[in-house]
A and B are shown apart, each in its own frame.
Chain A
Amino acid sequence: MTLLGDVARWFADPAHYQGSDAVQTRLLEHAAVSGLAVLTGLLVALPIGLYLGHTGRFGFIAVNVANIGRAIPSLAAIALAIPIAGTLLGVQNGLGFWPTFLALIPLAIPPILTNAYVAVRGVDRDVIEAGRGMGLGEAAVLRVIELPLALPLILAGIRTAAVNVVATATLGALVAFGGLGRYIVDGLALQEYDRLFAGALLVALLAIAVEVAFGTFERAAVSPGIRVQQGAL
C-alpha cells in the first residue's frame, strides 16, 4: 500500500516539525483548548452535580442536562459558537480559539454533571446515616463519605467529557482554529491524502491516549477499600 508509505514519509519529513503548522504546535493547540474546556466544564459542573446529588433535589435537571447535551451535534455546537463569539465577545468574524473553546464547554458539562449527581445520589443511605450519627456535619458528610465513595463514577464522567472534547476540538479547524484537525481539513481541501491520513492518525491516537490515561488514573485514584468491595461483587 503506497498510502502508508506516503504517510510514513510525511511523519519523517522534518518540514512538518517546523513553523506554525508543526506537529508539536498543532498537538499543543489541540491539548490546550481541550484542557481548558474540560477544566472550565469541571468548575461549572462538578459543584452543581455534587450539590444536587448531596441534597437530592432537582434530579430532573441533572438528567435533562445530560440528554440535551447528547442531542446537540458537535458540528452544530461549533457552528452556533460562531455568532455567539462574534456578538458577545466581539471576536473578529467569530473565528479562531474562542468559538472552539465556547463550543467545547457545553460538551464537557453534561457527563460530568450527571455522573457526579448519580454517583453522590447512589451512595448507600445507611453509610450517610452512620456518618451523621457519628456527628459529621453536611460538609463533612460530602467530603469524607460521599466524595470518596462517588469518586469512581465522577472520574468516569470526567473521562467521557475529556474524550468527547478532544474529539470535537478537531472540528475547531473549520472555524479557523489550529489543532490537529487542521491537517484533516486542509488535507481534504487540498486532496493531500498523506496529510489527511497523518492528521487523522494523530487525532485518533490522542483520543485513545486520553481514554487510556484517564482509565489508569481512575484505577489509581479509587480508594483501596472500594476496590476490594467491587472485586468481591
Chain B
Amino acid sequence: MTEGEPLIRWDWIASHLDEFAFRLGEHVELTVIAVSVGFIIAFGLSLLILRAPRTEAPITWVTGTLYTIPSLALFALLIPYTGLTVLTAEIGLVSYTLLILLRNIVRGIRGVPAEVREAAVGMGYSPREILWRIELPLALAVIIAGVRLATISTIGLVTVTSLIGQGGFGFLILIGIQRFFTTELIVGAVLSVALAIVADALLVLLQRRLTPWTRAT
C-alpha cells in the first residue's frame, strides 16, 4: 500500500468497468466448463459405484486424495506437462468438483425409498427407466445441493488459476497484490464472492423449479 493512497479509488473502478465485464466472462466460462465436465465424470463414476459397490472405496480414495491436494500444488504439478494453459486450470478445477458431486449423486440415489423402487419394478419399469424416471428426479434435490457446493468452491478456486495465467477476477486480485494497489485487489475479491453468491442463488431457484414437490412440505 502506497502512503497517502486511499483504500479504494472509486474513479479507477468507474473507468475499468469494461475490464470487469471481460474478467466476469472468463470467470464464468472457467467455472461452467469445470462444473459441467466434473458433473459428467462424477455421474459416470456414481453409476459405476451404484452398480458395483466394491468400486466405491478406491474411487472415493482417489477423488478424496485429489481433493486434499492444495490447488496451487496441483496446478504446479501439471504445469511441466500441460503448461500455463486453460487445460491445466481445467484439469485442476474438474478434479476438485469430483468428490463433492460424486458423494451427493450417490447419496441422493441411495436415499430413494426402497418401496418407491419396488413399486416401479412392480409397474414394469426397466432398470434404465427406474434410473431416469424415478431415482434421478427424486435424488435431484440432493444432487443440486452438490452442484451448489461444487460451483461455489470452483468460483473460489478459479481465482487461484490467475497464478498460471488464467483466473477471471483472480487476475485483478493478483495484479492488485503485485502492484500494492488495494482498490484492484479488493474489487477482485468482492466480485468473486459476489459471483459465488449470485451463482448459488440461481441454483437454488433452478432447484425449486425442477423439484416443485419439495416445497409442499
List the interface of chain A (C-beta within 8 A of B): 3, 70-80, 82-83, 86-87, 93-94, 163, 166-168, 170-171, 174-175, 181, 184-185, 187-188, 193, 196-197, 199-201, 203-204, 207-208, 211
Contacts and interface: CB of A to CB of B under 8 A. Distances in A.
B76 A184 contact: yes
A184 B71 CA distance: 11
B189 A79 contact: yes
A86 B186 CA distance: 14
B131 interface: no
B176 interface: yes
B121 interface: no
A188 B161 CA distance: 12
B173 A70 contact: no
Contacts of A188: 76, 79, 163-164
Contacts of A170: 70, 72-73
Contact of B1 (A77, A78, A83): A83
- For the complex of A and B, the 10 pairs showing the least CB-CB separation, nearest first, are A73-B156, A76-B189, A167-B70, A200-B76, A203-B73, A200-B73, A75-B159, A79-B185, A71-B196, A73-B159
A80 B180 CA distance: 11
Interface residues of B, number: 43
B173 A75 contact: yes
Interface of B, secondary structure class, is helix
A167 B180 CA distance: 24
Nearest to A168: B70
16 contacts: A73-B158, A74-B160, A75-B162, A76-B156, A78-B177, A87-B1, A170-B72, A171-B72, A175-B177, A184-B76, A196-B79, A197-B76, A199-B73, A200-B74, A203-B73, A208-B65
Given A71-B196, A196-B79, A166 B177 contact: no
Interface string B167-184: 000100110110010100
B167 to A, nearest CB: 9
A38 to B, nearest CB: 15
B68 A208 contact: yes
Interface in B77-96: 77, 79-80
A82 B170 contact: no
A3 B7 CA distance: 44
